[in-house]
Amino acid sequence: MGLAELYSEIVGTETRTRHRIERGELADMADDALAVGFGVSFPAVFFVLAAFDAITLDQAFSIARWSGLGLIGFYGYAAGRLAGQRRLACLIQAGAVAAVAAALIVVKALLH
Protein backbone atom coordinates (compact mmCIF):
# COMPACT_ATOMS: atom_id res chain seq x y z
CA MET A 1 0.00 0.00 0.00
CA GLY A 2 2.88 2.36 0.71
CA LEU A 3 4.30 1.80 -2.77
CA ALA A 4 0.90 2.55 -4.30
CA GLU A 5 0.82 5.79 -2.31
CA LEU A 6 4.31 6.70 -3.53
CA TYR A 7 3.41 5.97 -7.15
CA SER A 8 0.21 7.98 -6.84
CA GLU A 9 2.09 10.97 -5.39
CA ILE A 10 4.70 10.86 -8.15
CA VAL A 11 2.15 10.65 -10.95
CA GLY A 12 -0.06 13.31 -9.37
CA THR A 13 2.80 15.73 -8.84
CA GLU A 14 4.22 15.25 -12.32
CA THR A 15 0.77 15.69 -13.84
CA ARG A 16 -0.01 18.79 -11.80
CA THR A 17 3.38 20.49 -12.29
CA ARG A 18 4.07 19.15 -15.78
CA HIS A 19 7.67 18.30 -14.98
CA ARG A 20 9.58 15.35 -13.55
CA ILE A 21 10.00 15.29 -9.79
CA GLU A 22 13.37 16.00 -8.27
CA ARG A 23 15.28 13.85 -5.81
CA GLY A 24 14.35 16.04 -2.83
CA GLU A 25 10.67 15.79 -3.71
CA LEU A 26 10.98 12.02 -3.99
CA ALA A 27 12.50 11.80 -0.51
CA ASP A 28 9.56 13.73 0.97
CA MET A 29 7.10 11.53 -0.90
CA ALA A 30 8.89 8.40 0.30
CA ASP A 31 8.57 9.60 3.91
CA ASP A 32 4.84 10.05 3.40
CA ALA A 33 4.57 6.60 1.80
CA LEU A 34 6.33 5.05 4.80
CA ALA A 35 3.79 6.65 7.12
CA VAL A 36 0.96 5.23 5.01
CA GLY A 37 2.63 1.82 5.02
CA PHE A 38 2.91 1.92 8.81
CA GLY A 39 -0.73 2.91 9.20
CA VAL A 40 -1.87 0.10 6.93
CA SER A 41 0.36 -2.57 8.45
CA PHE A 42 -0.24 -1.55 12.07
CA PRO A 43 -3.31 -3.81 12.58
CA ALA A 44 -1.44 -6.78 11.09
CA VAL A 45 0.43 -7.18 14.38
CA PHE A 46 -2.75 -8.35 16.07
CA PHE A 47 -3.42 -10.97 13.40
CA VAL A 48 0.14 -12.27 13.78
CA LEU A 49 -0.56 -12.63 17.50
CA ALA A 50 -3.74 -14.53 16.64
CA ALA A 51 -1.79 -16.80 14.29
CA PHE A 52 0.48 -17.71 17.21
CA ASP A 53 -2.56 -18.29 19.45
CA ALA A 54 -1.63 -15.43 21.77
CA ILE A 55 -5.12 -14.01 21.24
CA THR A 56 -8.23 -15.22 19.44
CA LEU A 57 -9.10 -14.14 15.93
CA ASP A 58 -12.18 -12.29 17.23
CA GLN A 59 -9.97 -10.41 19.68
CA ALA A 60 -7.56 -9.55 16.85
CA PHE A 61 -10.40 -8.05 14.81
CA SER A 62 -11.68 -6.05 17.79
CA ILE A 63 -8.27 -4.76 18.82
CA ALA A 64 -7.35 -3.90 15.22
CA ARG A 65 -10.61 -2.04 14.72
CA TRP A 66 -10.40 0.06 17.88
CA SER A 67 -6.65 0.67 17.80
CA GLY A 68 -7.16 1.88 14.23
CA LEU A 69 -9.64 4.37 15.62
CA GLY A 70 -6.98 5.62 18.03
CA LEU A 71 -4.46 5.84 15.21
CA ILE A 72 -6.88 7.88 13.10
CA GLY A 73 -7.42 10.24 16.03
CA PHE A 74 -3.66 10.57 16.45
CA TYR A 75 -3.30 11.37 12.75
CA GLY A 76 -5.92 14.10 13.12
CA TYR A 77 -4.02 15.58 16.06
CA ALA A 78 -0.66 15.33 14.31
CA ALA A 79 -2.04 16.95 11.14
CA GLY A 80 -3.27 19.89 13.18
CA ARG A 81 0.06 20.29 14.96
CA LEU A 82 1.97 20.12 11.68
CA ALA A 83 -0.36 22.81 10.31
CA GLY A 84 0.58 25.04 13.25
CA GLN A 85 -2.69 24.84 15.17
CA ARG A 86 -2.85 25.16 18.95
CA ARG A 87 -3.21 22.03 21.05
CA LEU A 88 -6.88 22.57 21.84
CA ALA A 89 -7.74 22.96 18.15
CA CYS A 90 -5.74 19.80 17.43
CA LEU A 91 -7.63 17.89 20.10
CA ILE A 92 -10.92 19.05 18.61
CA GLN A 93 -9.76 17.99 15.15
CA ALA A 94 -8.63 14.61 16.50
CA GLY A 95 -11.98 14.13 18.21
CA ALA A 96 -13.86 15.02 15.04
CA VAL A 97 -11.99 12.60 12.80
CA ALA A 98 -12.20 9.90 15.49
CA ALA A 99 -15.97 10.46 15.75
CA VAL A 100 -16.36 10.03 12.00
CA ALA A 101 -14.22 6.88 12.11
CA ALA A 102 -16.23 5.51 15.06
CA ALA A 103 -19.47 6.13 13.18
CA LEU A 104 -18.10 4.22 10.20
CA ILE A 105 -17.05 1.35 12.47
CA VAL A 106 -20.53 1.20 13.97
CA VAL A 107 -22.21 1.26 10.55
CA LYS A 108 -19.90 -1.46 9.28
CA ALA A 109 -20.57 -3.58 12.37
CA LEU A 110 -24.33 -3.21 11.84
CA LEU A 111 -24.10 -4.17 8.17
CA HIS A 112 -21.90 -7.21 8.63
Whether the pLDDT of residue 25 is over 80: the answer is yes
Stretch 4-28: mean pLDDT: 90
Whether the pLDDT of residue 2 is over 80: the answer is no
Within the chain, where are the H helices? 2-17, 23-41, 44-51, 57-82, 87-111
Spans of all domains in the chain: 1-41, 54-112
pTM above 0.85, yes or no: no
Q: What is the mean pLDDT of the chain?
A: 90
Beta-carbon count within 10 A of 50 CB: 18
Measure CA of the first residue to CA of the last residue in the chain; give whole Å. 25
E strand or H helix that includes residue 41: helix 23-41
pLDDT 10s digits, 37-54: 887 788 889 999 999 999
